Structure 1
Amino acid sequence: MALGTLASILSSGPSSDTLWSWTALPVGLVLLCLLYEIGWIIYCRVWHPLANVPGPFAASISRLWIAASVASGRAEHVQRMLHQQYGPLVRIAPDEVSVADPQAIKTIYSIKSGFTKTDFYPPFAPNISLHGDHFTQLDETIHAERRKYVNSIYSMSTILESEQYIDGCIDVFLDKMAQVARQGKEIDLGEWIQWYTFDVIGELFFGHQFGFLRDEHDYGRYIESLDTLLPGIALSCVLPAYIRPLHSSLGMLFSTIRDSVKGFDEIRAAGRYWTNLRQQQMQSGSVERVDLLDKFFKVKEDKAGWDVQDIQNEACVAIFAGSDTTAIAIRSILYHLMKDRACMDKLVAEIDDFDSRDLLGKPHIRYAEAIKMPYLVACCKEGMRLHPSVGLGMPRHVPPGGATIAGRYFPAGSRVSINAAVVHYDQSVFGQDAHRFNPDRWIDGNAAAMDRHMLHFGGGSRTCIGKNISLAEMHKLIPEFLRRFHVELTDPAKEWKTQNFWFNKQTGIRARVRARQRGQIALGLSGGVPSP
C-alpha cells in the first residue's frame, strides 16, 4: 500500500503548490539579503557616525574598497590623490577614516593619547609565544610591561657595542662593489642593499653574517618568503576579522595565498631554528661572543614571564622586519641622490671635507662621526620622508569620550589612521616643494617642527623597536660607500617600481659603480666571513 502511494505521487509529478514551496525559500532569502544590503547602505550613508565624512561611495559601504586598494600595491598613491580631492579627512571604509592633518599625529599616536590598536595588526603575529610580540600586541598594559624587558637591548648604546660587526658587513659590501667596479657590470643595487641589511641582522642577533653578500644569493629564501607572504597578510589586515578565516581557507585554492602561508611558516621556522641552535651552543659552551640573542637569554634568567618562545618571537620578528624596512630606507636615500646629481655632489663634497680634516675614521666611519655630518643626516631624513618604509595607514580606535581630529568630533570606537606616505607630503609642514627630494629643507627650515611630524618609525609607545639598528646601518653604510665609489643609475630617466604591501618595497634600481680617486681607501678589509 505504502509503495503504491509513493509511486502515485512520483508519477503525478510536483504540484504547483510544491513548486512554489521549493522556490519561495531561495527567493525569500535573496530578497532578505537585498533588503539587508539596502538597509546597510542607507545606514552607512545617512545615520552612521561617519556618514558626513567625504570619500569614495564604495568605501563608505564596504571594506572591499580598501581591500582592493591594498591588493593593488599602490594604496599610498590612491590615498594621496583622495586627500587632495577631499581634504584632511577621507572615509576609506564604513568604520574608518584616513587622516592627513599633521597636527593629528600627536593626538592619535602620542604615548598618553588613549588611542589603541585595532584588529588590523593580528595577521602579522608570528603566534609563537602566548605573550604575543611587541608589534601585534593590542593590550597597551601588556605591551608596555613586556617592552620594558627589552628596551635597553634595542638602545643605541647597546647596538653600538656591536658596531664592529656592522663594519664587517660593510667591508664585505665594499669588497663586492670593488669587484663590480673592476668588471664594469650593471647591478641591481636594491638587491645588494637588502643583502647587506640581512647580513647585519645575522651579525647583531645571531653572531654571524648569514652569507647573503658573500654568496650573492637569498640565504634560506628569506627574501622570497617575505615577498610572498606580505601581500596575503596586508589583504587580511584590512578585511573584517570575521571574514579572515574564510579568506585563509578559500585562499588556499590560489597559489599566491599558499605561497604566502608557506613563506610565513618558513620565517617562523627560521626564528625557532636560530634560537634552538643558540640553546645548544650555550649548553655545549661554544658561544663565541655576546649578541642580541645572548642578551634575550639573559632576560629569561632575570624575568619569570620571559621564556624561550618569547626569544623565538624576537628572532622571527628580526628576520621578518629587520631587513626590509632598513633596505627600503637606504634604497630611497641612494635612489633620490642618484636622481639628483647636485644633491649627490653636495653630499660627496661634505664627506670628502670631513675626511680631509680627519673627522672620519679609517678604515671605518663611526656612527658618532657620521651623524655630525649635517647634510648626510638631512639626506637620510629626506629619503625616509619621501618614501617611508611602511606605506599603509596605522589604524587606532578613538578612546572613550571621543576625540576631535582636524576640527571634527569622532565618537569612541571610531577607527582613524594616518599614513606616513601621505602626511609626509604636507606642504604646511614640509614646504611647497614637499613632493621633491630637497635635503636642504632640514638645514634651512624648521627641522624640529618637521621631525615632530615624521611617522617613518611610527610614534609614541609604539615607535619601531628596531629604529636604532636601522639608523646605525644607514648612517654608516652610505658615507662609507660614497667616499670610495661613484654610483649612478644606468638610466636616470627610468623610474623605480614600488609595491606597497605594508612594506613599500622598491625594485628596478639598476646602477653602475666605479672606484673614486679622491678619498679612496684600500679595499680588501673584510677577510673571511664566518660560515652560517
Structure 2
Amino acid sequence: MLLSLFAPPEGKISIPSLIVSVPVCSLVLWIVYCRTLHPLAKYPGPFLASFSRIWQLYRVFQGDMDVAHRDLHHRYGPVIRIAYDEVSISDASAIKDIYSAADVFAKTDFYTLLRPPFARYPDHFSSTDEKVHGQRRRIVNSLYSMTSVMESEGCIDQVSELFLRRMDDLAGEGKFFDLATWFQFYAFEVIGVLYFNKMFGNLENGWDVSGVTTALDTLLPIHFASCFVQRYLRPVFLLPGSLFSRVRGAIRGLSKLRDASLACVAERKNLVQDGRKTRADILDKMFRIYEERGKELDYNVIDVEVEIYAALFAGSDTTAISLTAIIYHLMKHPNAYDKLVEEIDKATDAGILSQPNIRHEEAMKLPYLDACCKEAMRLHPGIGWTVPRYVPKGGRTIVGQWFDEGIRVGINPAVTHFDRSVFGEDADQFNPDRWFRGDSVNMEKHMLVFGAGPRTCIAKNIALAEIRKLIPQLLRAYQLEMVDPGKEWKRANIWFNRVSGVEVRASKRSTS
C-alpha cells in the first residue's frame, strides 16, 4: 500500500506523515490513471501534458506553442495529447467536423475568463452558449458586414493618411523603426475612429499615449495562461500576480480602458438624448438599435459598452500581426516584393487605383496582393494556439478516431496551415504563387485565420479592409528595407501570435 511508504518503523502513521502522504498518493494514482486508463491515454504527447495543464502553461511563458505543436505533430502524427483531457489535431480535414455550424462543438471554459467583468451577456468571443451567442450576434451582425464597414471607409483613410505622414517623418530622419509597433498604433487608431470617431494619439505621438497597448503587453500572458488553468484554481493562480508591480499597473491600465470605453458610450448617449446629430460610426449604429429595438431585443446600454470594451481589448492585435507578417515575408522574399510593387504601379498607371487613398474595391482587383496577404497570414496567423471545443453529447469520430463527449479537441491554425496535403509539399515556405497554381478554393476552405463556422471573427471585414487598403498604399509610397536582412523577427505566441523586432528603414519612392 502506498501509505505504508510514509509509515515510521513502528508502523504507526503520524498526522504530518498523513498530511504529506494523502496528496502524494492521490497524485501518483491520478498520474497512473491518466497515463493508462483515461480515454486519451493512447495518444502521445509531453509527459506533463498527460496528467495536467502544466505543459500548456509553460508554453505560454515560452511563447512558442505553434513551434512546439508542429514539432510534436511531425513526430507523432495528426493527434497529440496536450493536456490530460485535450488533444490537438493537425489534419485540416477535421475543420469541418469541429467548427461546423451543422454539428456544434461548444466552446470550452477556456473562454470564460475573457468575458468582460461587467457584462450582462458574454461578448461574442467569450460566449460558450451557442444559442445565446447566436441570438446576441444577430443583433449587431449587420454592422460588421463589408457594406457597413465601407460606409466608414473615409475614416480608415484618415488613419492611413496619418500613418503615411509618420512614415514621411521617419523616412526623412533616416531612422530605422520597428514596423510591428507602428502597425499596432495604426490598427488601434482605426478601431477608435470606426467605433466612436476619435483617435487615441498613439500614431500621432509615436508612443502609447493611452497606455492600453502597454498594459495589454504585460497582462495578456498571465491572462491567457489563466485560461488554461481549471476554473476552480484560477483565483489561486491569479492571486500571486497581484504581488508584481507591472501586473498591478497593467490591471490599472485595463481599468482605464474600461473607463475610457464607458466614457465614450456615456458621451454618445448624452448626445443622442439631446437630439444632437452624430456621425454614423459603429457606436452610433449600436445606439440606433438600442433606441429603436432595445426592449424587443433585450439590448441595453451596457451591451453597447461590452461591444466597445471588446473592440478595444482585442480589436487591433490580430490585424497588426497580419500587417506585420505580410510586409516581413515580402521583405524576406525580394522577388515577391518586387512583383507586388510592379502590380501596384501598373494598376496606378492604368487608373485602377485612386490617389492618394486606394479604395477597398480597387484593392480587390489586385490578385497578387490578395495572394501575398493570404500566404503571409497562412504562415503566421494571428492566433497560434488550438481553438478548443468540447466534443458534443454522444461522442464523435474525428479523423478516424473516436472521442468521448466532454473531451476537448482543437486545431491550431499555425499547425493546420502547414498541412502538405492541402497546401503542397512546400507548405512551410512563403510562396504566393501557390494561390494561382493549386486548388485555391480548397486552400481557402482550410484557412483558419479568422476562425470558421458560426464563430468566425465578427470583425473580420474591418481587418480585411485595413489590410487590403494599407499594404498597397504603403508599398506604392515607400521602399521598405530591413536594417539587417539576415535577422529574424521576435515572436511571442501567448495565444495572440505576436511579433516584434521588425526593424526597417523607409525611403520615399519617386513614383508615389
- TM bin, normalised by shorter chain, reads over 0.9
Q: Say whether the 8 Å CA contact 1:126–1:268 is kept in structure 2.
A: no
1:434 match: secondary structure? coil
Q: After superposition, where does 1:177-188 map in structure 2 within 5 Å?
A: 177-188=167-178
Preserved contact between residue 491 and residue 500 of structure 2 (Cα < 8 Å): yes
Give the structure 2 partner of residue 11 of structure 1: none
Structure 1 stretch displaced more, 385-394 or 181-190: 181-190
Instruction: Determine which of 393, 401, 413 is the counterpart of 2:394.
Output: 401
Structure 2 residues without counterparts, runs of 5 or longer: 1-9
Match of 1:358 in 2: 351
Indicate conservation of the 8 Å contact 2:123/2:306, yes or no.
yes
Aligned position for 1:151: 141
1:202 aligns with 2:192: yes
Question: CA RMSD, aligned part only?
Answer: 1.6
Question: In structure 2, how many angstroms separate the alpha carbons of the residues matched to 1:353 and 1:163?
Answer: 24
Question: 1:211 maps to what in 2?
Answer: 201
- How much does 1:428 deviate? 1.1
Please point out which of 46, 50, 73 is paired with 1:83.
Answer: 73
Letter in 2 for 1:392: W
| 1:253/1:360 CA distance change after superposition, 3 Å | same
Q: Which residue of 1 aligns with 2:304?
A: 311
Give the Å deviation of 1:286.
Answer: 4.7
Residue 160 (str. 1) matches residue 150 (str. 2): yes
For 2:109 and 2:11, how far apart are their aligned partners in 1?
A: 43
Instruction: Please give the alpha-carbon distance, in whole angstroms, between the structure 1 residues aligned to 2:323 and 2:390.
Output: 32
Structure 1: unaligned runs, 5 residues or longer? 1-19, 521-532
Q: Give the match for residue 159 of structure 2.
A: 169
Task: Provide closer, same or farther for how the CA distance between residues 306 and 27 of structure 1 changes in structure 2, counting only shifts above 3 A.
Answer: same
Provide the C-alpha distance between the structure 2 equivalents of 1:394 and 1:256, rounded to a whole number of angstroms: 28
Does residue 297 (structure 1) correspond to residue 287 (structure 2)? The answer is yes
Alignment of 1:407-486 (within 5 A): 407-486=400-479
Deviations 1:383-441 (A, max 9, x none): 11111111111110000121111211001111001110111111111111111111111
Q: TM-score, normalised by structure 1?
A: 0.91
The residue type equivalent to 1:495 in the other structure is: E
**TM-fit CA distance, 1:21:** 13
Q: Residues 212 and 254 of structure 2 are in contact (CA less than 8 Å); yes or no, is this contact kept in structure 1?
A: no
* Aligned mates of 1:151, 1:343 — CA distance in 2: 36
Identity %: 47
- Give the superposition deviation at 1:270: 2.3
Q: Offset of 1:22 from its aligned partner? A: 11
- Secondary structure (helix, strand or coil) at the match of 1:38 reads helix
Aligned partner (choices 99, 104, 129) of residue 109 of structure 1: 99
1:114 aligns to what SS in structure 2?
coil
Q: Distance in 1 between matches of 2:23 and 2:204?
A: 60
Cα distance in 1 for residues equivalent to 2:255 and 2:429: 40
1:282 matched residue in structure 2: 272
TM-score, structure 2 length as denominator? 0.95
For residues 273-305 of structure 1, what are the alpha-carbon distances to aligned partners after superposition, in whole Å with 9 as ceiling and x for unaligned?
A: 211121223334455411000111111121321
Correspondence for 2:121 among 106, 127, 131: 131
Give yes or no for the alignment of 1:258 onto 2:251: no
Determine which structure has more spread, i.e. the larger CA radius of gyration. Answer: 1
| 1:304-334: CA deviation from partner (whole Å, max 9, x where unpaired) | 2111111111111111111111000000000
Q: Report the residue type matching 2:41 in the other structure.
A: A
Distance 1:259 1:425 in 2: 39
Kindly state the Cα deviation for residue 376 of structure 1 after the two structures are TM-superposed.
0.2
Among 207, 211, 223, the alignment partner of 1:221 is 211
Q: Which residue of 1 aligns with 2:237?
A: 247
| Partner SS state of residue 55, structure 1 | coil
Mapped pair 1:379 → 2:372: yes
**Which of the residues 484, 492, 508 maps onto 2:485?**
492
How many residue pairs get aligned? The number is: 500
